[in-house]
Amino acid sequence: MKFYLEHDQFEQLQLYIRNILNLYFEDAYLFEGQGDNSITININQESCTLVTTTLTIEGTTYTQRAERKQADKRAMKQALGETLIEILTAHTGITQSWGTLTGIRPLKLYHKYLKQGHSDSAIKQRLKRDYLVADDKLELMDRITKTQLNALPDLYELEQEVSIYIGIPFCPTKCAYCTFPAYAIQVHKNDVPEFLVGLLYEIEHIGEWLKAHDIKVTSIYFGGGTPTSISAQDLKLLLEAVYTHFDMTHVRELTVEAGRPDTIDEATLEVLNSFDINRISINPQSFTDETLKAIGRHHSVQETIDKFKLSREYHMNNINMDLIIGLPNETRKEVIHSLNETKKLNPESLTVHTLSFKTASEMTRNKSKYPVAARDEIIYMMNLTKTFAEQHDYIPYYLYRQKNILGNLENIGYSKAGEASLYNILIMEEVQTIIGIGCGASSKLIHPETGKIENYLNPKDPKSYNKTYKDYTHQKIDKLNLLYDQKDK
């Protein structure tokens, strides 16, 4: 649907308004100028903030006003968001439980207020007043922040440490919904040896830098792709390098994504067990074979079950499983079946994703091939997972949202008591630097004192990475030097 806005601050307002519109309309576009579905905004910030928004949509005109005591940019966005939410809810009948919070990490705001010394009741009141967040989401945020602080009592004091993400960009196949660096390993097997040379180079030089600066590592996470796509011998080589070049004394958690069951075998599990890997992920996404075929996963439900049980035999005692709600042609029947199968396996943690139509994915490019459930059905299915979690002692411990996520819902990580992933908490709440190593790995460089964030991305495809890994490694080290030089001044 096309919308039009004529305003002297169009460039500054465009993205925020479009994000609000997309909560209600799939593929909403905002253009500068006049036309059908027009938006008129009057902003007065003489002593406070008063925003008046008029929206003509599908022949009906609405006007809404909102006020804030402050007269700054944040107050303006809050008031503008409130007017748009009120109008669009009145027009569509759709209620937005997250209110005007359109960002990926809503819990960061809750943590910010906690660190400032506000009580839980005051924080909830503020989020409800300023951002229109519904009571159920406020309770969820409250519960998750408490769980995070229980898992990491020093969460607000870890800015002097870092965590490490190691990206291995290979998978058996690429799933239809995926936009992560994931290259079919059979097609790119000739790139693997040179990729490992580059990855080992990064591990060595980043490890040396960390030791030279006496910086502790909190957690290490192998992701991708699917790290277990490479051979057990190659995985052993990488883990040996990690233990050689990083000071593992203070590492609290070491996770390896083994997400695709078709990459798990006895040799790989033997390697993981020998290095005391204390957390892995085996991701069914669905326990319906027809769904797995439709989304491009070349493993069966039975293989997921068999590989989970095999992992238990090799002492993998902290296993996460991922499910995706809203996969093509799935209804509550399939979700209930997936939850029942999950119950039988009893993993230590369960991450529930709501399907997101990511811009570059196969599923987004060919939506007609992948019919999905309606919004109300998605919400119902998501609520089924929440009920399941409550009934089986899974506690929500992290949460994030995505653009174009079905039902404007969220992704929630649940775990049994004491089994929460520390890395997931750290990266979602952005409390410390995450150094990304490997193909497609993103470094999140966070100044230990100011909290200012800079992202630094390694090349996504193996061939580019193989040609440039030395340059990227030293550029990253230069940025780390600058970051910690600033800290010392």
pLDDT tens readout for residues 430-467: 999 999 999 999 999 999 888 899 999 999 988 999 99
348-395 confidence digits (pLDDT tens): 999 999 887 656 677 667 777 777 888 889 899 999 999 999 999 999
Segment holding 222, helix H or strand E: strand 217-224
Determine what percent of the chain is predicted with pLDDT higher than 70. Answer: 95
Instruction: Sort residue 58 into left (φ over 0), alpha (ψ -120 to 50) or beta.
Output: left
Residue 50: the pLDDT is 96
pLDDT score of 489: 45
Stretch 326-342: mean pLDDT: 95
Q: What pLDDT is recorded for position 404?
A: 65
Q: For CATH 3.30.160.150, list the domain ranges present in the chain.
A: 2-92
The span from the CA of 388 to the CA of 380, in Å, is: 12
Residue 285 DSSP class: B
Q: What was the pLDDT predicted at 298?
A: 82
Give the chain's mean pLDDT. 92
- The pLDDT of residue 407 is above 70: no
* pLDDT for 8 beyond 80: yes
CA gap 87, 52 in Å, rounded: 11
Topology, domain 155-479: pyruvate-formate lyase- activating enzyme (3.80.30)
pLDDT recorded at residue 153: 98
pLDDT for 278 equals 77
User: Angle 266-274/232-245 helices, nearest 10 degrees?
Assistant: 10
Could you read off the pLDDT of 27-79 as tens digits, one per residue? Answer: 789 999 999 999 999 999 999 999 999 999 999 999 999 999 999 999 999 99
pLDDT single digits (tens) 217-264: 999 999 988 999 999 999 999 999 999 999 999 999 999 999 889 999
CA angle 348, 349, 350 (to 5 degrees): 135
The ranges of the chain annotated as CATH 3.80.30.20 are: 155-479
Q: How many CB atoms lie within 10 A of CB 387?
A: 11
Instruction: Give the integer Cα–Cα distance in Å for 165 and 254.
Output: 10
> How many residues are given for the chain?
489
Mean per-residue pLDDT, 154-178: 88
pLDDT score, position 176: 66
pLDDT at 257: 95
pLDDT at residue 406 is higher than 80: no
**Per-residue confidence band for 183, with pLDDT thresholds at 50, 70 and 90:** confident
At residue 84, the 3 state secondary structure works out as helix
Segment 100-129 shows an average pLDDT of 95
Q: Which residue do the tokens 């919308």 mark?
A: 3
pLDDT at position 259, please?
87
* 252: helix, strand or coil: coil
Structure tokens at 13: 């307002």
CA angle 323, 350, 461 (to 5 degrees): 60
The whole-number pLDDT of residue 431 equals 95
CA distance 425 to 433: 13
pTM (two decimals):
0.93
Class of the CATH domain delimited by 2-92: alpha beta
